[in-house]
Structure 1
Amino acid sequence: MDLSLATSYDASPEEVFAMITDITFQEQVFQRLRAQSYDVVVGDDGDDLAVQFHWQTQLSDVPVVARRFVGTSLQLEQSKIWHRPDIDGARQADVDGAVTGVPVKLTGTTRIVPEGRGTTQAFDLRVTASVPVVGARLEQLVADAVRSRLEKKFEVAWSWLSGSL
């Protein structure tokens, strides 16, 4: 299942990158999501910068039909490896993720690109589940969880950049 999402910010690519690699910003996103638990790690990965997340959804976020496969909550892991910026400040990251204990994977890219006086951040992701019969349902469940996190992230980012957080 493919998942594409984008938003624009009234900020430079450098400001957006500083925000999305800030642990406090990421914690604000998980608090807004009311994640049952979460962990954020930011660190160097050679010439690149790695941002790693682990979060657990609440019981109410998991449909009854999926609970026999994933349990009472979804535990998701995701990493983004941000590469050096282009001359114009644009950056791209490789995205990898998984659902703990279930054969579901998330792969793709995210990028921040200058656009006029602002910046666009776009995600192009693919969720794949290698589970017979219910694979498509699990893909949808994970895609919905990722979409929800990204939408909340965008909300927090707009507040963060406007100085209202």
Structure 2
Amino acid sequence: MCAMRFQQTATYDAPVADVFAMLTDPAWREKVGVAQGVVSSDVTVTPEGTEGRRVVIDQVQDTEGLPAIAKKIAGPTTRAIVTEVWSSPTTGTIEILAPGKPTKAVGTVSLVADGDRTRHVTDLEVTVKVPILGGKLEQVMADNIGRGLEVEQAVGVAWLEGDR
């Protein structure tokens, strides 16, 4: 089985330092979870090295709306642990795991200055180790991650405009 490549970019009208501060703010992460409709969420942010941060989001998500085959594997809810390790304010790694499930997504996150704006790039390899159906389920997982990142961006735009 091969992994599916997934990349998504969010653009914010703010400098890199402001976007990094937002991405590593537990209050913002909690607000994103509420907007995504998660069942529960626990967010931990700790220093990483001299200028980085480790962000761990442990959440329970409702699987309503997923295709029947995905719900059969996941159940009515699924737990996702998202770990972002920012080695600096512009570069990090990301890992999305569902304990006890044959799924994972690993890759990188980066913040790129673009004039007065910042691009937040998420680049992942999505893997679902299920014979025959793995590729289809990887697409379902990538689509679900993409929808989550779209909500994250909407909350981020509002946050940077002062909606806290």
TM-score, with normalisation over the residues of structure 1? 0.90
**Which runs of structure 2 are paired with 1:119-134 in the superposition (5 Å)?**
119-134=118-133
Unaligned runs of 5+ in 1: 86-90
In the alignment, structure 1 residue 12 sits paired with structure 2 residue 15: yes
Q: Which residue of 1 aligns with 2:35?
A: 32
Letter paired with 1:161:
L
In the alignment, structure 1 residue 56 sits paired with structure 2 residue 80: no
Letter paired with 1:5:
Q
Q: Which residue of 1 aligns with 2:76?
A: 72
What SS is found at the alignment partner of 1:55?
strand
Task: Give the Cα–Cα distance (whole angstroms) in 2 for the partners of residues 131 and 59 of structure 1.
Answer: 18
Q: What percentage of residue pairs aligned between the two structures are identical?
A: 31
Task: Give the Cα–Cα distance (whole angstroms) in 1 for the partners of residues 152 and 28 of structure 2.
Answer: 9
Q: State the shift of 1:102 in Å.
A: 1.1
Letter paired with 2:82:
Q
Tell whether the 8 Å contact from 2:6 to 2:124 is kept in structure 1 after alignment: yes
In the alignment, structure 1 residue 140 sits paired with structure 2 residue 144: no
How many residues were matched structurally? 160
Please tell me the root mean square deviation across aligned C-alpha atoms, in Å. Answer: 1.5
Q: Which residue of 2 aligns with 1:104?
A: 103
Letter paired with 2:28:
F
Letter paired with 1:29:
V
Letter paired with 2:69:
V
Task: Give the Cα–Cα distance (whole angstroms) in 2 for the partners of residues 144 and 52 of structure 1.
Answer: 21
Tell whether the 8 Å contact from 1:62 to 1:73 is kept in structure 2 after alignment: no
Residue from 74, 80, 86 that aligns with 1:82: 86
Letter paired with 2:102:
P
Post-superposition Cα deviations, 1:64-108, rounded to whole Å, max 9, x if no partner, equal 2222211112221110100124xxxxx111111212211111111
Tell whether the 8 Å contact from 1:61 to 1:73 is kept in structure 2 after alignment: no
Tell whether the 8 Å contact from 1:4 to 1:125 is kept in structure 2 after alignment: yes
Cα 1:137/1:72, change in 2 over 3 Å: farther
